[in-house]
A and B are shown apart, each in its own frame.
Chain A
């Protein structure tokens, strides 16, 4: 049965996009089913583990639905969708007030893969809370560039295509973001050391 299933080629993304663009709700639902998880993961990396991720996810697919009639197939559907994801997440970060970084432990726990020991889980949860707190303190443009390149491992060209900027601009943002994050981290460590002493 598995073999039979594998022989049935799933519809191509472009076919689904074309169908969805002319109002095929099932095709759009299929696109949502295919990409919701990946978009959600990217959104989490970009904006953190807050409950607003669902709103952003919803907004991304709404934007996709509106934009599909303009989709010409020059790029892959996934690229098109991720570009929208970046734009929506960026706008969301711009509009959102910067938060203190006190994330819900359960939300952080949900990000931890595997079955670590309680101690390991606590350590990883703390690290995630810290990195999200740091990212909250830099500007959205730098944050997005940094996450795409440093966290998701994209090349400068790939990130530039998604962001809609030149690779050099992206490179500068990543470097600035890294510098700021290091400074913030050093300041945080100094404060911690001062409190301990």
Chain B
């Protein structure tokens, strides 16, 4: 009797399906990262190797073996420490040699011949994956990007977000080469066409055919007429002018700075805005030190995006899926979130491509795509003709193909990237919105935010609504944050304090997480904090903030450990059924062993069937029924399967 009972109990235990929840995964991942980093840096055992755990549990082996193994491990660590110290010394020397003793980290640029691309059309995107170099012409300026990064042309602006880039604009090569439609027509830099406009090289020379252009960066704006300068988007941002002169406007600075040939200027150090509920007011006007990001309200693009999002309705009836996904996201009730997204493979999966997260029915948009399935659209390094053809087609082919790979939407394109979200009656922001969002991609570009290479960076607009800038609710919840996190000093303590807030006050938790991630962006705890932040934002319906947090997370060194939950969360944020479905499919491909596979498979099958593709859904239904007969959506799967079969 007891034996039979024991067998029942053992069978029950064997049927148990322990699932590592995302928070625990993130926490352990963060600790591991810190510990591994400490060990690699020769700082000894971060977790206390003296606890005797080691390999000591192995039976049948003596203490001598254990001691020998430990000694070997210690010796290895010492060797690594020496190697790391030597490497650091070499790096310091190289940094000083290359940057004149600057105190910023260098950007290592491989000697890769740049893929040259001609004058970009308005709205087109120039992007370069990590380690690659891409060169293009924008407004007559030669722009060389060292990836990862991207640049886009918007009217009379150039929007750039890259690790490093060089701009060369000269009277001979610059003027008259632009083919865009917006050159000199925008209003953004009108003030700089006055006497304050930079004249550059040669000084004082009038250049009616080449008005000053404006480069909009994450934390600064640069006005240039003729100059050659480099920008290292490190912390803080550093600009070095080699020829001519520029006007540098750091975000939050009281006045612009004129930087002339042979000099450098920085925007920073970056201060966090956590202590200030007034976003963007944290700058140091006296010194020109900027606050990290401009105010949300001051950014019409972000405001437009926010307004569009607020006015948006569920365009494809995904509310039901979203509700289900929201209910299943995370273990804690307040960590719920919707789904979507480009799936993100772990960091090593640099070559994977992702499905589009853009609406597939946008009629006036074309895009060069990196999809390996569509060779006609492929743009690779050195395929200049192809790139140009794609660009040319982007302006000519109205009613062109659906976008297969969405470019990271630069400011001003927020509405165009999701056209269904534009409030009715709102006019397009400019010609760019009516024309194209062409994406010029180079081989290796991945839409996987965590793929390590060419992760689509946060746009300035995203940054405005992103992590570093507390939204207005910060003020309302400031007291709660202070009460909860006042004693927290280290990032770990701050994260723990913020985590405790999640259950009590989601808004305060968001603000605390945002502040923590902004003030300690490199801390291991910043990664789970960003994921939590994204979840909370998604649960609160603030999808822009959720996307921004996920984008920032994708750039964090600890993103790999959170790739799966982040990818899942991105899926929940998709807005079109096709994108949602493709995202789920890619998620399954990237994470075949996901503990959420049952849920994702069921959602994928149902979404496919909902789209009317019962034939395509049939194998998914079969797999779901076979593998997860009692899965979380088993009843729904059975219902939809019956519905499809009845339809036959």
* Chain A residues engaging chain B, CB cutoff 8 angstroms: 1-8, 10-11, 16, 23, 25-30, 32-34, 36-38, 40-41, 43-45, 49, 53-54, 57-59, 61-63, 65-67, 69-70, 83-84, 86-92, 94, 110-116, 124, 127-128, 130-132, 134, 141, 150-153, 163-165, 178, 181-183, 185-186, 189
Contacts and interface: CB of A to CB of B under 8 A. Distances in A.
20 contacts: A5-B589, A8-B351, A29-B29, A29-B561, A34-B593, A40-B19, A44-B18, A45-B13, A58-B47, A62-B35, A69-B73, A87-B53, A88-B57, A90-B57, A113-B17, A127-B9, A152-B14, A182-B2, A189-B2, A189-B5
Given A40-B20, A115-B635, A4 B561 contact: no
Given A110-B19, A127-B8, A67 B348 contact: no
Interface stretch (B178-186, B258-266, B626-634): B626-634
Most chain-B Cβ atoms within 10 A of its Cβ — which of A6, A26, A27, A70? A26
A94 to B, nearest CB: 8
B561 A164 contact: no
Contacts of B59: 90, 141, 163-165
Given A32-B32, A59-B47, A1 B52 contact: no
A103 B564 CA distance: 29
A33 B346 contact: yes
Contacts of B24: 40, 54, 57
A29 B72 contact: no
A132 B12 CA distance: 11
Contacts of A182: 2-3, 6
Interface string B5-35: 1101110111111111100110111011101
Given A33-B561, A70-B69, A124-B12, A5 B28 contact: no
A56 B279 CA distance: 42
Contacts of B557: 25
Contacts of B323: none
B443 to A, nearest CB: 14
Contacts of B630: 113-116
A189 B4 CA distance: 13
A111 B16 contact: yes
A3 B456 CA distance: 23
Contacts of B72: 70
Contacts of B13: 45, 128, 131-132, 151
Contacts of B473: none
Closest 10 CB pairs of A and B: A114-B630, A29-B560, A87-B57, A44-B18, A5-B589, A111-B16, A90-B57, A131-B9, A113-B17, A40-B20
Given A25-B37, A36-B28, A65-B39, A2 B16 contact: no
Interface residues of B, number: 84
Contacts of B52: 91
A27 B16 CA distance: 30
A91 B10 contact: no
Nearest to A19: B348
A91 B373 contact: no
Contacts of A163: 58-59
Contacts of B69: 70
A78 B154 CA distance: 51
Contacts of B347: 26, 29-30
A164 B16 CA distance: 26
Interface in B30-57: 31-33, 35-37, 39-40, 47, 49, 52-57
A66 B40 CA distance: 10
Given A58-B28, A65-B39, A115-B635, A25 B9 contact: no
B373 A4 contact: yes
B595 interface: yes
Given A1-B354, A1-B586, A5-B353, A33 B564 contact: yes
Contact of A65 (B9, B32, B564): B32
Nearest to A188: B2
Contact of B582 (A1, A16, A94): A1
B588 interface: yes
Interface in B317-373: 331, 343, 346-349, 351-355, 371-373
Contacts of B635: 115
Contacts of A1: 353-355, 371, 373, 582, 585-586
B576 to A, nearest CB: 14
B51 to A, nearest CB: 8
Interface in B87-146: none
Contacts of A62: 32, 35-36, 47
B590 interface: yes
Contact of B20 (A25, A28, A29, A36): A36
B408 interface: no
Nearest to B27: A54
Contact of A26 (B80, B372, B452, B564): B452
A29 B452 CA distance: 12
A8 B18 contact: no
B593 to A, nearest CB: 7
B9 A130 contact: yes
Given A44-B18, A84-B55, A181-B6, 7 more contacts: A1-B373, A26-B348, A36-B561, A40-B18, A44-B16, A86-B57, A153-B14
Contact of B631 (A6, A36, A63, A114): A114
Contacts of A183: 2
A30 B560 contact: yes
Nearest to B564: A33
A26 B17 contact: no
Most chain-A Cβ atoms within 10 A of its Cβ — which of B585, B589, B631? B589
B471 interface: no
